[in-house]
Each structure stands twice: as C-alpha cells, then as structure tokens.
Amino acid sequence: MAASVIRGSAFLVKSMKCLRTPCHLPFSVPMRRIRYFIALPETPNDTPESNPLLRTEDVPHFYAISPKQVVRGCAKLSLDFERKVDTHFSSFEEDPSKPRTFENLVAPVDALHAPLQTAMNNTQILTWLRNIQPYIDAKARADTQVHKALHAIYTSEAYVLLKDLYKHKESMTDEEITLLEKMLYNCQKAGLELTGKTQDNWDFTMTRIDECVGDFGKRAIACKRLFSHTITDRKLMKRLPEELIYNMSLNPRNPMAGPWKVTLEDTLYHTFLKYCPDAEERHNIWYAYNNVSSTDFVSQYMDTHRLIDDIVRFRKHAAEDLGYENHAQSVMEPTMAGSVAVVLNMVEELRNSYLPQAEAEIDALQEFAENDGFEDELKLSDIPYYRQMQRETLFNEEEVSQYFMYKDVVEGAMELASQMFGIKFKYSEKRFPDEIYTFDAFDEEGKLIGQYILDPYRREDKYPDSWIFPAKARCENPVLSPYSYHSLNLDRADPCLSWIDLGSFYQEFGLFLQLCLTKTKYFTLSNDGTERDIRAVLGYLLLQFTMDPDYLQKISKHVKTGEKIPMPVIQTLLQANQHMAGWDLCHRLFKIAYDFEINLSHENWYSTLEKIWPIYMPIPLDMDDNHPCGDLNQFSNEGATSTYHMTWSEMVACDILEAFKDAGSLTDPNVLQEVGPRLRDSFFHPLGTVKAKELFRRFRGRDPSTEPFKAHNKIIN
C-alpha cells in the first residue's frame, strides 16, 4: 500500500494513529531528541466510476474487476470506514451537548458497514469466479485490511458511549436494542471491560493467538500445495469422471492419454478415493491428505503439532480473562443453542440412535468388498471406493439425472417459494455475459426484496463446485436489497442435475430466500445478526421437500420425453439416498464432539482424538490419521465450536417440516399457503431482531426436538 512518509519532528494530534519508532543507528551515541517516522496511509483515489467494486447499490460486472482494483477498492473503503467511525465517535467527545440517541450514535455506524462489507462479499464471489492466483492473492491482502477496519469501532471511547446509551434502552424499539446489545457484546469480546494486569495478559494472549493461527494457516496451506503425485497407469483412471480426468491431465492435447497429477484439492481428493480401484494408491493419497503438516509427513519447520496445543491453550486463557470457563462456552452465547450442554445433549441423542446402524453398515460394506475380492479389513481409505460401488448397485445416477433439467428445477424451486411465502420472481432487466441470469424477487405487496443471480455453467477459471454466496444484505440506510450469487457446475451439452446436485440446489436456494425474508432494516443485523447455527434452516427445509416422493415426482420432467419420474424409481432413489446414512451422521457427530472436547478439556489434540473417535465411529482409529494438523476451519479460521451449526440447522428444519406435514401433503398448495405465511411472519421476518429460540417457540410452541430429525433421516435397510 502506498504511503506518504514524513520524517522529523511532528505534533501528534489525539486522533492520529501513528507508529512511534525511535531512530537509532548501529554503534551511535543516543541522541537527546527522538526522531519519528510517521506513516500516513494514502487513500486510493478510486471512484465508483473507475472501480466497479465501489458501486454498492449495483451488482458489479465481476469480469471487469482486476486484482489491482480489488486491493485499491478495499483499501479505500477500509480507510474511509476507519476515518469516518473515528470522526463519528470523536464528535460526541468534542461536543458534549450533541444528542446521544440511537439514531445519532448507533444508526450512522451501522450504515457505514454496508459499503465495506458488501465490497468484501463481492470480492469473495470474484475470487471464486476467477479462481486463479492473482485474484486469490488480492483477496488475501484485502482480507487483512478489511478485518482490521471492521474492528476499529471497538474502542474504549465508543464503549463508554454505547454503555451510557444502553441505560436508556426503554425508549428504544426491540430492533434497536438488539443492535445495541450486539455492539456491546462485541466490545466486551474485544476486551474493553478489562483493566490493569488482566488487560495486559489479554493483549499478549490475543497477539499470540493471531500469530499461532496465522502460522498454522501458512504451514497447512503450503503443505497442501507442495504435494503432488503422478499417475501413468490408465487402468487406475478408467472409473474416474471424465471432467476430473481432464482436470488432472498433464497432457492438454490428449487428456485421456495421461499422465495425470493428483493433488490434495478437496474435490479432487474425495472423488479420487471414490473411483480409484487400487488400494495402495488410495491409501497413499489418503495418507497425504490426513497428514498435512503432521510430523509424520513434513519437517519440524512445517508441522503444526505444537501450534494446535498453543492455539487451544491461548484460547482458554483468553476465555478465562473474559470470565468464561473455557473457549467453547465463550462462543456459544450468541447462538440459538445457547450452551455447550444443549449441543452435546443433541449429539448424544443422535449417537445412541445412529451408531448401531453405522456398525451394521460397515459390516455390510465389508461383506460387499470381500465378495468383490477384497481380502483385508476395510480402512478409511477403502470405504469411499466400496461405498460408491455398493451405491451404484442400487440405482443408475445418470439415468435419474435426465428427469431434472436445471431450468425445470429452478422453476420448481421458485414456484415453491411463491406458494410458501408469496415471493414472485421476474427476469431482471440487468444482463450479464456467458449465460448468467438475474431474477428480481418481490413480496406479496410488489416490493423488491432481493436479487438472485444464477450462473449455471462451468467455465475454466470458475471454482468447480456448486456454491451460493450472499453478497449484499438488507439495509434501509442506505437503501439496499439483498442479492446472492448462485453458481452451478453444469455442462452446456447436458445441463441436467444429478440427484446430489438437486438436493444441493434446493438447499442453496433456501439460503437466498432466508436472506430475503429477514425484515430488519439495519445492515449489521441483516448481514450478521442471525444466530450462526440457524443460518441454513430454510436451506435444509427446502432440501427436505426433495425427499418427499410426491413432491419429487411433481418437479420431475424427463429431458427428452417430458414424462414424470416413475414412483418405483423414486423409492429406489430415496433408498440410495439413505445409503450409509448412519456412517455419515456418526462421522458428523464425531467432528462436533471433537470440536467441543478440545475446546472444553484443552488436552493434547491427539489424546483428545484417541478419546473421542471410538465413542462415535464404528471402526478403530487409524494410527496414521493426523487430520487435525491440517484442519483450517478449526485452527486457522474462526470455526472453533462451529462444526455443529449445520446439524443444528437441519434439526430445526426437520422440526419445522413437521408443521407442514401435520397440515397435509407437501404438494397441496393449500397446505403451503396455510403454514408458509405463518412460518414467514412468526419466524423468518423477525430473525436478527428477536432471538431465534423465542421465534421457534412462537411457531412450534416448544423447543426443537431431535425426534423429527430422526423421523426424516430414518435408515432404509
């Protein structure tokens, strides 16, 4: 970042943030007068006209944004945000007579978040659309500066003003109180309640956490990138999907001739294990993936063993400084679950129900593998391959996909949204190249409540998986409507969705709808106010509709004949969908339990792994399994104790679905129009303003239960 440097004496005004650096030459006599280097960041002169990333109100043309514009745009918005926030809070100190009301003190800060956060969200989308190193590097640079800017509001001066305002909360609305409480909570988590030695300890601990977390991420990512394995034997590749073979090929003129390179990229790794017929090759790749940054795989300068224990220990110290017993407790407060005990109770109930089934599934898979000529005990590296083979005996996935042309699926999902919530979709006048479609979403009163951008086809630089990202949240100051970017990975020659892709589409589309349905007028509450463990509720609710035989038949249409999918095929499809469901859920429960245990007991990470694994998994822990050493979500990102979020959202969604089923058929428009608006008005509209637990009680009359989850995820033998 460019900077203007002023050398010499300087008068340091109170509001200036500067770096005081005494200037010492080697072996020189200390000078009486200290000289300072003061770096004043130079704000880029980009404008909305010259940089599309600065156009908050509009959806940017992503392919017109360069990596340089990403860095400059985010830098400008970050510096502007810090300056305006500092000026805003300082104005109350400079003018004590200035009215200290919510509208004067809090609302302007909320409005300042919108341009910066929207630009950062657009940057994430751009990085997935242009998934090449210059854009990835640009986003990494922008992330650091934006993160710093967003935390600039948490100062002791601001905290005093906010606490004083909270004393007069009786004159505020529920929505205003919620936003103010969120800001106060963030101030407390930033250590602004601490003083003296505790404050010093906190500062030291947080610095060490940042250092360890950053070091962990660098080592794990570097180790993943360094690994590659070349395959020359065509026999090993014949079962792999053609798209993957092309991506792996080192021979662009004749990809099918090889050789092929295997890396530890997630999608490639999981697909390779599913289709590689050679047990030794599978184990080699599995070993590399599950030993990223472990001492068994790399030198001591790249391993993360000690870093994990340091991160866990420092997180514990930080939580204790804030008055919590442990790190897990410190992050559960702003969630619907509310406490560690509630989550672990859910985990235990599900484990008791599904572990016996997981054990039976592994026994059946072992027998299947032996009948195929496999002579050893199944290992973790073998399970994906034989599981896929066993699943293929149940149904022909390619044949089923011909009933789900993507345009028909999109229409079906939009019709469901219309019948449930009164949302109407219309093609937008805005157009993008490369067959990217934009839809405007309107409520029953004809008010624009969101924009949905659909990018269905795969392209060379685009991140290959299906994904959706909410780029802009609702806000009334400035006036903003939510929009989400939904990317699929379809072949133009065969734009049909597989069974798995169908479920993913409905789930991702539900995330967009949930963002649209939130009624809060404040950006911070709309963007980040909803409890994190229920942000996927509507996605899982729509996913459950695709598990209903009648609804599935209703939305199906053969791409050539136009016929509906036969009911016997649907029954086979649903049976295949439940294939090894017990194993899948137990593995999810293991991850949740490990996530919590390591942040509760703060024991050595491998000792915790040895303790938790046999409680949830039906096969012994592999002695070569060191997967936590490369777990970026747990130890590099802010994902500690967040593993349960998706399972909790699914449990809540299954409970909500019971209300629809109690009223009748999921294909009956009258049922959807009876229950849907009640769900919309009592649960989704107030999200972000009222606690989700209270909203659920209003809708269902009780707390969520695991029983509907078990009913909708029953095992079909």
- Residue 665 structure tokens: 């058929």
**How confident is residue 575, by pLDDT bands cut at 50, 70 and 90?**
confident
For 435: left if phi > 0, alpha if psi spans -120 to 50, otherwise beta; the answer is: left
Residue 202 has what pLDDT? 93
Segment among 257-261, 509-513, 539-543, 633-637 with least mean pLDDT: 633-637
Residue 24 has what pLDDT? 34
- Residue 98 structure tokens: 């200035």
Residue with tokens 């790399």: 298
Residue finishing a domain among 475, 506, 529: 529
Cis bond upstream, residue 478 (ω within 30): yes
Residue 715 has what pLDDT? 52
Q: Is residue 20's pLDDT more than 70? A: no
User: In this structure, is residue 52 part of a structural domain?
Assistant: no
Q: What is the DSSP string of 464-521?
A: SS-EEEEEE--EETTEE--EEEEEEEEBTTB-B--HHHHHHHHHHHHHHHHHHH----
Residue 41 has what pLDDT? 62
Pairwise CA distance, residues 499 & 391, whole Å: 13
User: In this structure, is residue 450 part of a structural domain?
Assistant: yes
Q: Is residue 677's pLDDT more than 90? A: yes
Q: Is residue 79's pLDDT more than 50? A: yes
Q: Is residue 511's pLDDT more than 80? A: yes
**How confident is residue 253, by pLDDT bands cut at 50, 70 and 90?**
confident
Distances (CA, A) of 389 to 120, 313, 371, 396, 556: 42, 44, 12, 11, 26
**How confident is residue 23, by pLDDT bands cut at 50, 70 and 90?**
very low
**How confident is residue 616, by pLDDT bands cut at 50, 70 and 90?**
very high
| Separation of CA 61 from chain center | 24
Residue 426 has what pLDDT? 95
Pairwise CA distance, residues 439 & 170, whole Å: 41
CB atoms within 10 A of CB 521: 17
The CATH number of whichever domain residue 120 belongs to comes to 1.20.1050.40
What per-residue string of b and e applies to 4-43 under the rule 16 or more CB within 10 Å gives b? eeeeeeeeeeeeeeeeeeeeeeeeeeeeeeeebebeebeb
Pairwise CA distance, residues 78 & 43, whole Å: 9
Angle at 550 between CA 546 and CA 554, to 5 degrees: 80
Q: Is residue 121's pLDDT more than 60? A: yes
Residues 284-300 have a mean pLDDT of: 86
Residue 636 has what pLDDT? 80
The CATH number of whichever domain residue 499 belongs to comes to 3.40.390.10
**How confident is residue 287, by pLDDT bands cut at 50, 70 and 90?**
very high
Residue finishing a domain among 173, 193, 213: 193
pLDDT, greater one: 152 or 135: 135
Q: Is residue 94's pLDDT more than 70? A: yes
Give the model confidence (pLDDT) of 315-359 as tens digits: 999 999 999 999 999 999 889 999 999 999 999 999 999 999 999
Residue 255 has what pLDDT? 87
Pairwise CA distance, residues 451 & 454, whole Å: 10
Distances (CA, A) of 177 to 161, 380, 520: 15, 50, 12
When mean pLDDT is compared over 83-87, 150-154, 233-237, the highest value belongs to: 83-87
**How confident is residue 300, by pLDDT bands cut at 50, 70 and 90?**
low
Residue 247 has what pLDDT? 84
Distances (CA, A) of 577 to 53, 433, 436, 499, 689: 42, 36, 31, 9, 37
**What is the residue-averaged pLDDT of the chain?**
89
- Dmax (CA) for the chain in angstroms is 91
Q: Which helix (DSSP H) or strand (DSSP E) does residue 573 occupy?
A: helix 567-577
Give the count of alpha carbons within 13 A of 363, CB side only.
6
Residues 432-447 have a mean pLDDT of: 90
Residue 13 has what pLDDT? 34
The residues near 11 (Cβ < 8 Å, ≥ 6 apart) are none
Residues 533-541 have a mean pLDDT of: 96
Residue 713 has what pLDDT? 84
What domain range includes position 162? Answer: 60-193
pLDDT, greater one: 505 or 44: 505
Direct distance between the N- and C-terminal alpha carbons of the chain, in angstroms, rounded to an integer: 61
Pairwise CA distance, residues 70 & 279, whole Å: 45
User: In this structure, is residue 661 part of a structural domain?
Assistant: no
User: In this structure, is residue 376 part of a structural domain?
Assistant: no
Pairwise CA distance, residues 448 & 424, whole Å: 9
Residue 19 has what pLDDT? 31
Q: What is the DSSP string of 273-340?
A: HHH---HHHHHHHHHHHTTTT-TTTS-TTT--HHHHHHHHHHHHHHHHHTT-SSHHHHHHTTSSS-SH
- Residue 23 structure tokens: 């200037």
CB atoms within 10 A of CB 236: 19
User: In this structure, is residue 561 part of a structural domain?
Assistant: no
Residue 54 has what pLDDT? 92
- How many domains is the chain built from? 2
User: In this structure, is residue 396 part of a structural domain?
Assistant: no
Residue 272 has what pLDDT? 93
DSSP strand pairing (483-490 vs 448-457) = parallel
**How confident is residue 394, by pLDDT bands cut at 50, 70 and 90?**
confident
Collapsing DSSP states into helix, strand and coil, what is residue 704? coil
Q: Is residue 504's pLDDT more than 50? A: yes
DSSP strand pairing (467-472 vs 475-476) = unpaired
Residue 349 has what pLDDT? 96
Residue finishing a domain among 158, 193, 228: 193
DSSP strand pairing (229-231 vs 467-472) = unpaired
Pairwise CA distance, residues 450 & 684, whole Å: 15
